[in-house]
Amino acid sequence: MSNGQLHVVTGAFGYTGSYITRMLLDRGDRVRTLTNHPGDPQRFGGRVQAAPLDFAEPSSLVRNLEGASALFNTYWIRFPYRGVDFDRAVNNLETLFRAAREAQVPRIVHISITGASAALQLPYFRGKGLAEQALTTSGLSYAILRPALIYGPEDILLNNIAWLLRRFPLFAIPGSGQYRVQPIFVEDLARLAIEASDSRDNYIIDAVGQETYTFNNLVESLKRAVGSRAIIVHVTPFLMRLLAAIASRITGDVTLTEDEIAGLMADLLVSREPPTAPNRFSVWLHQNAAEIGRRYASETARRR
Per-residue CA distances from 77 to 87, 94, 137 (Å): 11, 15, 22
The conformational region for residue 26 under phi > 0 = left, psi -120 to 50 = alpha, else beta, is: alpha
Q: Which residues contact 182 (CB under 8 A, 6 or more apart)?
A: 114, 148, 149, 208, 209, 211, 212, 213, 269, 270, 271, 275
As a whole number of Å, the CA-based R_g of the chain is 19
Single pTM value for the model: 0.94
DSSP state of 84: B
CATH dotted code for 151-180+211-303: 3.90.25
136 and 146 Cβ atoms separated by less than 8 Å: no
Can you give the pLDDT of all 304 residues of the chain as single tens digits?
456 899 999 999 999 999 999 999 999 999 999 998 776 656 788 899 999 999 999 999 999 999 999 999 999 999 888 889 999 999 999 999 999 999 999 999 999 999 999 999 999 999 999 999 999 999 999 999 999 999 999 999 999 999 999 999 999 999 999 999 999 999 999 999 999 999 999 999 999 999 999 999 999 999 999 999 999 999 999 999 999 999 999 899 988 899 999 999 999 999 999 999 999 999 999 999 999 999 999 887 766 5
86, containing H or E segment: helix 86-102
Instruction: Quickly count: other Cβ atoms within 10 Å of residue 231's Cβ.
Output: 11
Query: Distance between CA atoms of 242 and 38, rounded to whole angstroms?
Result: 37
Fold of 6-150+183-207: Rossmann fold (3.40.50)
- Residue 41 phi/psi, 5° resolution? -60, 140
* Domain boundaries of the chain, sorted by first residue: 6-150+183-207, 151-180+211-303
What ranges in 180-236 are assigned the alpha helix state H? 186-197, 215-226
